[in-house]
Structure 1
């Protein structure tokens, strides 16, 4: 299984090209799973925390092709990470580093191989996709990699008290793991303050609240409404935890 996590946009031209590049190097029947193609644009830090939360729902040996790469074509490294039985391929710009920091076992490599045809602006298609395809076949091409002591850009494994994603409902996913926040705590964000509710139905229609979402993160929502619109929040806005913690 190859799982795709990008900021390419599901309706643009890039995801199709990425899949064609993968299929050129994988056997028939390989599963390509669209994890997300609307990761925050140009935001490897937010993407890193979102990827770390999502990965637990995927099987061992899943290969994640993760591309949020505003530095494409620059001197930033291209990386392979093996973390607790799963593989990750992408830019070494922090995107893979929260996964690495939280893993019990992790190894990393720098991709030294370069294809004969390499677009300066689309390493996802030309560089990362072939590598992800080889790994999905059980092939670790040591002649194309140099093992490293760790990723060059490391964000650490601590939670991120920011909005990291806004879904199409206007719900605000944060980089806070819900297990670390007391249910008695209140969250302050932008001009609003919200208390905990277990599910949407426990809040009044139009009321903002926070809850533990299905991937274990603190999420701020409005029952039958948009928290992003009601609270005036964007990705990157800070979240402050108050009260009992």
Structure 2
């Protein structure tokens, strides 16, 4: 199985071009579009989303992960094997939280190159064919290496920040819900929000926080948009209030 995780969106041809490579290079292998709405260019947001949304895929899954504002530059192309899954993409921090949370991992710098490699679309020309080969059971030419550790801004174990707004206006954070007590409140967008297990536990129009289906703290409004109500955007901080 091949799984796509990108900031490409769905309004342009990029996702379709990736699928065309998979159809040519790995016919018959299922391809899943997991995420194409990672905030554009936001490597850190992608890094915290990836392990939460990858955790339920079976061993042998190949993730093609492209949030790559440095494409064509000095960053290396890598493939990371972590907990019996493959992750293919740029060595720019995108795999940092996968690496930290894995029980075992091994990184390799990709040395294989296609006959045609554009400067600006390594997702199609390099990462997709490498992923197709891995899905076929082949190991492309690569050298053992360590991932490059992010050094620009703090990368805590859990990120108290909004990292994605879904189509309902819910604000997904980089906090694992297991690190919080349900007695804790969270300040977001100028309001103090209490915990609820599900939407129906609060009156319509009420803002609250809950553990989403992927284990992350999410800010929501019953029957409404937390983004609109609280003015939430990716990068907005959350403040934890002790019980």
User: What TM-score range do you get, normalising by the shorter chain?
Assistant: over 0.9
- Which residue does 1:23 correspond to in 2? 23
- Which residue does 1:4 correspond to in 2? 4
One of 141, 147, 152 as aligned partner of 1:151 = 147
- Which residue does 1:135 correspond to in 2? 134
- Which residue does 1:199 correspond to in 2? 198
Aligned positions of 1:47-66 closer than 5 A: 47-66=46-65
The runs of at least 4 consecutive aligned structure 1 residues that moved more than 4 Å come to: 154-157
- Which residue does 2:212 correspond to in 1? 213
| CA distances 1:126-162 after superposition (whole Å, capped 9, x unpaired) | 0100100011111112xx21111x2013486701111
Q: CA RMSD in A?
A: 1.2
Unmatched segments (≥5 aa) in structure 2: none
Alpha-carbon separation, structure 1, partners of 2:238 and 2:137: 41
Does the Cα contact within 8 Å between 1:99 and 1:157 map onto a contact in 2? no
Shift of 1:7: 0.6
SS at match of 1:24: helix
| CA distances 1:60-83 after superposition (whole Å, capped 9, x unpaired) | 110000001111111011110000
Alpha-carbon separation, structure 2, partners of 1:216 and 1:157: 17
Q: TM-score, normalised by structure 1?
A: 0.95
Residue-pair matches, total: 240
Alpha-carbon separation, structure 2, partners of 1:100 and 1:140: 20
- Which residue does 1:13 correspond to in 2? 13
User: In the alignment, does 2:164 pair up with 1:168?
Assistant: no
